[in-house]
């Protein structure tokens, strides 16, 4: 699973992780709050400073994860102090975390800078500094054909209707057997690598063909507006918010 992790900009946590002087991240709470029980060895962490810039600048692999049971203040303090050489907490951070009943210690490896990208936190509600990221594994698309189209359909997820392709697959003409717009064929497209997506960010499911043939083509059914936050682009100039593309997304972890 992937996670977006907010780091203490004032304490220069990101810089310490990149330099290797800090090799462990701590989270704590009075209850079993995220990321307790949700982080495992091999997970990917994406780091962002908590200075309101909203830019992911580095990532790392989880080397190990420890999720404590309920502790008293003394046990909590002892656990934090034992791992302080790896945590490199400031005095202010110590005051924040020491004494928490539930502690999560995440040891990281292969910390590196990446091409910066923005993330919208608004869709996460009250989850403040640890954001779990879902993955889209496949999409099922409803299509019908008119006469005998011969072009495969590229199915992609993008950052914008004409933007960068994040994941893609294709539908072959032989897979579209229905000629009825009201009873279309359902075709499943599985992406070779599941796509990590974050709540609050906008993604576009795009269907396109390399060439258009007005005598032989595919028909894409439009359904009722069951997803009011979405927008259907029938073309670059025809944009509708009152209907939805008929499809199903499959999410994994």
Contact 225, 244 (CB under 8 A): yes
Whether residue 226 is found in the same domain as residue 140: yes
**Count of Cβ atoms closer than 10 Å to residue 28 Cβ:** 21
pLDDT at 203: 85
Q: Are 115 and 154 part of one and the same domain?
A: no
Q: Which domain holds residue 168?
A: 135-252
Does residue 125 lie within any of the structural domains? no
Residue 48, in any domain of the structure: yes
Question: In sequence order, what are the residues at sequence separation of 6 or more whose Cβ sits closer than 8 angstroms to the Cβ of residue 94?
Answer: 80
Q: Is 220 part of any domain? A: yes
Q: CA-CA distance, 153 to 138, in Å (whole number)?
A: 15
Establish if 128 belongs to a structural domain: no
Distance CA 174, CA 172 (A): 5
pLDDT in tens, the chain (253 residues): 888 899 999 999 999 999 999 999 999 999 999 899 989 999 999 999 998 888 889 999 999 999 999 999 999 999 999 999 999 999 999 999 999 999 999 999 999 998 887 775 554 444 468 887 777 888 989 999 999 999 999 999 998 888 889 899 999 999 999 999 889 999 999 988 888 776 667 888 999 999 989 999 999 888 776 666 678 887 767 787 777 766 666 555 4
If one counts the domains in the chain, the total is 2
238 belongs to a structural domain: yes
Same domain, 98 and 155: no
Residue 21 lies inside a defined structural domain of this protein? yes
How confident is the model at residue 235, as a pLDDT? 72
Could you identify the residue written with the tokens 């409803």?
A: 142
């Amino acid at each position: 699973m992937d996670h977006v992790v907010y780091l203490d900009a004032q304490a220069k946590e990101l810089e310490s992780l990149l330099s290797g002087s800090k090799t462990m991240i701590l989270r704590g709470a009075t209850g079993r709050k995220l990321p307790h029980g949700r982080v495992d060895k091999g997970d990917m962490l994406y780091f962002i400073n908590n200075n309101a810039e909203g830019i992911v600048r580095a990532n790392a692999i989880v080397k190990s994860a420890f999720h404590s049971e309920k502790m008293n203040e003394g046990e909590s303090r002892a656990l934090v102090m034992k791992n302080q050489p790896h945590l490199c907490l400031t005095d202010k951070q110590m005051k924040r975390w020491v004494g928490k009943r539930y502690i999560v210690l995440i040891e990281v490896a292969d910390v590196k800078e990446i091409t910066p990208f923005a993330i919208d936190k608004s869709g996460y509600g009250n989850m403040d500094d640890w954001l779990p990221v879902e993955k889209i594994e496949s999409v099922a698309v409803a299509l019908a054909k008119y006469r005998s189209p011969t072009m495969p359909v590229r199915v992609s997820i993008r950052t914008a209707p004409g933007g960068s392709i994040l994941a893609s697959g294709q539908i072959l003409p032989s897979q579209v057997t229905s000629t009825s717009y009201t009873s279309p064929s359902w075709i499943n497209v599985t992406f070779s690598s599941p796509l990590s997506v974050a709540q609050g960010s906008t993604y576009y499911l795009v269907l396109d063909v390399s060439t258009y043939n007005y005598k032989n083509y595919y028909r894409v059914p439009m359904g009722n507006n069951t997803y009011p936050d979405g927008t259907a682009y029938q073309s670059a100039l025809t944009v509708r918010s009152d209907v939805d593309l008929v499809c199903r997304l499959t999410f994994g972890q």
